[in-house]
Chains A and B, each alone.
Chain A
């Protein structure tokens, strides 16, 4: 069961609140020169001109980008997965995504605007797969590599390999 702070839980359930949840995305891959950090909130102006808005959390700047996402379910039998859509305003993501051939690792964290240095909950080390893009949006799935579907054990006695047994 995911644990979040009491104040955040109260804010999420309140009829009215000033709390603003912020989702931070950290995208990493061995071929990327720098880690890509994105935020769902224009908390502050990180650069005066041209304006770049974003969130500073634990010393790192997360650039604001309009993001729509569907959070994963908390099902016991199903691995969690996100469906995330980024606005393709700057066209920066497409060349980066097309330059890599294996799934980048994505960590999603939730913080509150009032305390961006405290991570309320996180979804670490998801793989970015099923990338779809057009002129307006980039849509990706964030999934966990589910090992439950891998065959076990590695070796089995089958008629094709051990005909004498059958």
Chain B
């Protein structure tokens, strides 16, 4: 069973304003009585978080929420998203993080900004 894909009719890139890609700390430190702590990776894999917002039209906004609630079971399921750094070539598997569901705001015209926080699956 393939993973849901980010709809092609929706924006494929994040707004540069506010975009952030964070690498989650995967290190474990073992303290010694004296001197610096020992350090090693806690687990395999790369753990990253993507935070940003996209600009939607009103029609796209409806499509997005249908995708979120119906295809992703209210954000519980992972999906394939165009890579923020290379959206035309690469795809990354992401899932909405426990930071919270997407939030939206509008400027009164047909512009809807939806902010979201995603965990990139290793």
Which A positions have Cβ atoms within 8 angstroms of B? 11, 14-20, 40-45, 48-51, 53, 113
Contacts and interface: CB of A to CB of B under 8 A. Distances in A.
B121 A20 contact: no
Contact of B2 (A16, A40, A49, A53): A49
A16 B40 contact: yes
A149 to B, nearest CB: 36
A20 B27 CA distance: 10
Interface string B56-94: 000000000000000000000110000000000000010
Contacts, number: 47
B121 to A, nearest CB: 6
A17 B1 CA distance: 38
Nearest to B42: A20
Given A15-B36, A42-B122, A50-B78, A20 B43 contact: yes
B38 A20 contact: no
| B interface majority secondary structure | loop
A51 B78 contact: yes
4 closest pairs, A vs B, by CB?
A: A49-B3, A43-B44, A17-B40, A16-B39
A16 B38 contact: yes
A14 to B, nearest CB: 7
29 contacts: A11-B40, A14-B38, A14-B40, A15-B38, A16-B38, A16-B39, A17-B39, A17-B40, A18-B40, A19-B40, A20-B40, A20-B43, A41-B44, A42-B43, A42-B44, A42-B45, A42-B122, A43-B45, A44-B44, A45-B121, A45-B122, A48-B2, A48-B3, A49-B1, A49-B2, A50-B77, A51-B78, A51-B121, A53-B122
